[in-house]
Structures are given as C-alpha cells and as structure tokens.
Amino acid sequence: LGKVDLIIQSCHNNKWKEALSHCSKIINLDNNNISAYCKKAILYWKLNQKNKATQTAQYALKLANEYDKQHPSSLQSQSQVSSKQNNKNSNNNSKHVNKQSIVKNNLYMIFKQTQNDNKLSSNNSG
C-alpha cells in the first residue's frame, strides 16, 4: 500500500487507475483490509467516480465499526499509544482512538461531500 500512497499524492490520473488495481488485488487477498478500502475510496474520488467512492467509503466505515466491536481492548491500547505520542497531556484526558474515527478522518472529504449532496437534494425536493 506504500506504492499506492505515492500514487495518490501524485497528480497522474493514469497512475490512479494503476493504484486502484493494486487496491483491488490487496482486497482480493484480504477482504477485511480497511486501509485498502480507504485508499480505494480516495482513488475513486480522484477519478471522479463519486458514487463508487461513497459506497467504498461507507463499506470501509462498516468494516472499521465491526473491527472496533470485535477488538474493544485495542481501543484502550491505541488510546494509550496516542497519549504517549502526544506527550504530556496536561489534564490527562486521552481520547479513545478507534478504527471508525480513523476511517472518518481519512475519508472526511467523501463523507462531507455526500452529506452536502444529501442536504441539497432534500432542499430541492421540498
């Protein structure tokens, strides 16, 4: 997926399709690879395939939610790592980091645009 990250950051449209192919191969090997689904959603978005991007992003979020439910102990350990990395949190209010929040953060632009589109369509229907 490191190669995919480099391609996503570049501005080469023809490489985005190649990166999308890499993501599909990874997903074929590991159907629960949340990171591959996130990257795939971003690539669809960059290729102006908004519906596929939204569907893929929602599926990544669903996988993340399922992962969080199956691994509640990882929430605490990720939270502890996060607070250590942020170093000396003065009031020691560590936030719980989970896969779902990571996915939402990584795919913010897709979820935000989908939310805006939904608002526009509901305003136009009324």
DSSP character string of 33-51? -HHHHHHHHHHHHHTT-HH
Say what the pTM is: 0.68
Give me 22's structure tokens: 């890499």
Look up tokens 């997903």; give the residue: 27
pLDDT digits (tens, 9 = 90+) for 19-76: 899 899 999 999 999 999 999 999 999 899 999 999 999 999 999 999 999 988 665 5
DSSP 10: S
Please, are residues 40 and 24 in contact by the beta-carbon 8 Å criterion? yes
Rounded-to-10 torsion of CA 38, 44, 49, 55: -20
Q: DSSP character for 30?
A: -
